Amino acid sequence: MTRWRWDEPSVAMVWVEESSGISKSVTLSLANEDTATVELNAWKDIDDMAGHRVRRWRNQPPSLIPLAHDRLVAVLPTSLRVVRGWTEKDLTETSEISQEPVS
């Protein structure tokens, strides 16, 4: 579980699947006092044929859900099932990574 910004109330579950090397996340954020959003992401950094580092990724934009306990309890397992089901062939977007990661 991570929290990147203290001024934005959100919690992210982030993990890397060992079998595929795909990083995945489910982020729950408070939109306002009555509504939350759930956003799904998956990505994998690879070298393309020319040797450039690229990120292949997929994003399911935030969907609004009411902040009712029963809705939250239902949406999180469903979101996890969806993102867990994404495979490398589902990573349809590509972005070039312009610099080497810091070691």
- Tell me the per-residue pLDDT of 6-23, one tens digit each, with 9 for 90 and over: 677 888 899 999 999 999
Location of structure tokens 């306990």:
69
Q: Which helix (H) or strand (E) holds 30?
A: strand 23-30
- Tell me the per-residue pLDDT of 55-98, one tens digit each, with 9 for 90 and over: 999 999 998 988 887 777 788 899 999 999 999 999 999 998 87
- Examine the pLDDT at 99 and tell me if it is beyond 70: no
Please name the residues in contact with 22: beta carbons below 8 A apart, sequence gap of 6 or more.
16, 42, 43, 44, 86, 87, 88, 91
Q: Give me the pLDDT at residue 101, please.
A: 57
Cα 71 from chain centroid? 20
Ranges of each domain in the chain: 10-96
